Amino acid sequence: MTLLGHLITGLSLGSIYAIIALGYTMVYGIAKMLNFAHGDVIMVGAYICFFAVTSFSLPPVVGVLLAMVVCTILGVVIEGLAYKPLRQAPSLAVLITAIGVSYFLQNSAQILWGADYKSFPNFLTVNGQTGVSLFGGQLNVTYTAIVTVLACVVIMLALTFFTSKTKMGKAMRAVSEDKGAAQLMGINVNSTISMTFAIGSALAAVAGVLMCSAYPTLSPTTGSLPGIRAFTAAVFGGIGSIPGALLGGIMLGLVETLTKAYITTSLYDAVVFALLIVVLLVKPSGLLGRYVPEKV
């Protein structure tokens, strides 16, 4: 029973990582850049939802939609101002810029909203209950966990459908394969990349709200650690691959939780990272990533 509880915890934690990782992976697949600021977009999304619900008493659904809209705009603006001018620049310059954007978002949040913790309201309740009790109270499953796992699967399916069936999605795949050739085929590379950032950031808003519903402390640095975790998850599953992000996220969540439960609560970070290293050594492009041979 305890094991079942741990598995559920790991699954719901992993689903959160997976949703963040999906955003990472989309952006990486198309723009070929590590968007270190992704975690901080999550934080902004959570704050927007927090204030919409607590200060303006809007219904939670409106709060989530508002967060998605704000994050989408934020993502597109960041891309246009900070990343687009660096399209031809070395990847290190883009990486440092992304770190700069990350610091910028964190510190703006600190100045605007203060460094103190905020406690995110749990609005996933039914009749005042936060979860269902199973096996005569031996096991509690929160509604947040259920919604998170469902949301994760739905988002993954929607993204897969989007990239394989719609015109825009196909354009994204084309850009991801070969920017030059895509351009020759009449695809507007810039707008495709902007679109990717828009989708990635909207996902970040959803992830932010779900993450803060499950773990309700909100501070300007809330996004940075899950950001790195999700990045790890994306690499784990094979960065650029949508099912890979899902697999990587959920595996990471499970490994982390089970390591804490049965091996060590103090060194689980080290264990997770060590596992990542082993996976990459065996499969240098992640579990579901494609190996792209270099051309001379």
Residues between 170 and 199 that touch another protein (CB under 8 A) = none
Give the residue, chosen from 62, 73, 100, 191, that forms a contact with another protein under the rule CB under 8 A. Answer: 100
Residues 6+ apart with CB under 8 A from 235: 248, 276, 280, 286
Residue 296 contacts another protein per CB under 8 A:
yes
Residues 6+ apart with CB under 8 A from 173: 163, 164
Site for another protein, residues 211 to 270, rule: CB under 8 A: 214-219, 221, 224-225, 228, 231-232, 235, 239, 256-257, 260-261, 265-270
Site for another protein, residues 27 to 46, rule: CB under 8 A: 28, 34
Nearer to another protein, 128 or 186 (CB): 128
Give the residue, chosen from 76, 86, 147, 189, that forms a contact with another protein under the rule CB under 8 A. Answer: 86
Kindly state the smallest distance separating residue 113's Cβ from another protein, in Å: 9
Nearer to another protein, 114 or 158 (CB): 114
Nearer to another protein, 177 or 269 (CB): 269
Give the residue, chosen from 119, 164, 166, 188, that forms a contact with another protein under the rule CB under 8 A. Answer: 119
Residues 6+ apart with CB under 8 A from 102: 36, 37, 39, 40, 224, 227
CA-based end-to-end distance of the chain: 56
Q: The tokens of 211 are what?
A: 């993450």
Kindly state the smallest distance separating residue 158's Cβ from another protein, in Å: 26
Kindly state the smallest distance separating residue 165's Cβ from another protein, in Å: 29
Nearer to another protein, 169 or 286 (CB): 286
Q: Give Cα separations from 239 to 53, 127, 151, 252 (angstroms).
A: 35, 41, 21, 14
Nearer to another protein, 203 or 236 (CB): 236
Give the residue, chosen from 62, 77, 107, 164, that forms a contact with another protein under the rule CB under 8 A. Answer: 107
Kindly state the smallest distance separating residue 143's Cβ from another protein, in Å: 10
Residue 56 contacts another protein per CB under 8 A:
no
Residue 67 contacts another protein per CB under 8 A:
no
Kindly state the smallest distance separating residue 214's Cβ from another protein, in Å: 8
Buried b (16+ CB within 10 A) or exposed e, 88-101: eeeeeebeebbeeb
Give the residue, chosen from 82, 147, 168, 189, that forms a contact with another protein under the rule CB under 8 A. Answer: 82
Residue 125 contacts another protein per CB under 8 A:
no
Give the residue, chosen from 137, 165, 180, 186, that forms a contact with another protein under the rule CB under 8 A. Answer: 137
